[in-house]
A and B are shown apart, each in its own frame.
Chain A
């Protein structure tokens, strides 16, 4: 038996192990699930080691060290010691007495995320989408575009009104907010349909694996 064939069998057995949960919770499922938890943790461990830890931290420090020993100059790359230091602080959470130090690293992460997202979201999800909503409501000779533009402008406008918090939803304002909710609901309906589509596709993929790759029933 070649490695490939063994591999397909391992895959098939694990697939059935997870699916057995649908009948009821059982040791076979628990085994597969525990294996999944372990393997995915290990997978990420290996990937982060080779692709983040080594190139971003170790390589930079090695460079700094080499420059120091070979050319005797103190290089800018030494600042990566600070980054590594913040990383190590993160691990201190495991020790209750100094666990609070990990807040420093968390603060750094939160700060960078907040700063990056601030400008990005305002531009791409805010300004550009607003620009894209500025459409003429009447397009001569093209009924479809006319209706489409009206729907987009009205929907976006009313949807935003729904999210207004400092004004009560009543009167014309409330009416607009209600129209906004309808648009949101249609959007959710579409998302619902697409999510179902996505999940079914995954199941089809697994079924096809079992019937064609493993059992060879489908040509």
Chain B
């Protein structure tokens, strides 16, 4: 039961999804499975949330050093869920003017945007301390990156203003993007496509079962 049921389930569901792509009348099964997928995915999110709350409640209960921050996590969770579930007009909870919308714009957005903005600083320090032209390949990478970074902003054209129109850095950047970059992306895409196909097949056939926890 522990092993067989999941394996059979994966195989049946996976094959149905593939076959229904070719047999139009089977679309109804595909649609149903997709709906179930979203129901289960919602529960997976709840699982994550419950886990998070449990870990933080634990911190507070055991009076660990970072217990106050555990409290902040739970506070943050409640501060948005209570208005979102009960005081924001039900299904139109995300319309402008609701409390949920207000929290979204003034709390969630600044926090998430700033978290990602931090990366700008880390890119800077990594480019200073870690990105080395350690091999021919890495050098090619860095040179291409240079042309792109400078060519995509007016500086590139300004530095190469002495070259005739059509041969300036901006145009190099366009050329790199349109041709060698496109070719490289294609190779990666086709490779990944085959990788996905073969992995998907292994999973469906039950040859790859690490996702269930150990062989």
State yes or no: do A and B touch (Cβ within 8 Å).
yes
Q: How far is the CB of B111 from the nearest CB of chain A, in Å? A: 4
> Does the CB pair B120–A202 fall under 8 Å?
yes
Please tell me the size bucket of the interface on A: 35 or more
Known: A56-B35, A90-B47. A115 touches B13 (CB 8 A): yes
Q: Within 8 Å of chain A (Cβ to Cβ): is B178?
A: yes
Is residue A14 contacting chain B, with contact meaning CB distance below 8 A? yes
SS class of chain A's interface: helix, strand, loop or mixed? helix
Q: Which of B21, B116, B146, B181 contacts A199 (CB 8 A)?
A: B116
Specify the main secondary structure of chain B where it touches its partner.
helix
Q: Are A187 and B185 also in contact (CB < 8 A) when A22-B121, A111-B14, A116-B17 are?
A: yes
- B175-215: contact bitstring with A at CB < 8 Å (1 yes, 0 no)? 01111111111111111111011011101100000011100
Are B179 and A108 in contact, CB atoms less than 8 angstroms apart?
Answer: no
Point out the residues of chain A lying under 8 angstroms from B121, CB to CB: 22, 203
Chain B residue numbers with a CB within 8 Å of A211 are none
Total contacts A-B at CB 8 Å: 397
Q: A-B pairs with the 8 shortest C-beta distances? A: A38-B76, A159-B187, A189-B144, A155-B183, A115-B17, A187-B184, A193-B148, A111-B13
Interface residues of A (CB under 8 A from B): 3, 6-8, 10-12, 14-15, 18-19, 21-22, 30-50, 52-54, 56-57, 60, 79-80, 82-84, 86-88, 90-91, 93-94, 100, 102-112, 114-119, 121-122, 124-126, 129-130, 132-133, 147-148, 151-156, 158-160, 162-163, 180-190, 192-197, 199-200, 202-203, 205-206, 209
Interface residues of B (CB under 8 A from A): 2, 5-7, 9-18, 21, 32-54, 66, 69-70, 72-81, 84-85, 90-91, 93-94, 100, 102-121, 123, 127, 137-138, 140-149, 152, 176-194, 196-197, 199-201, 203-204, 211-213
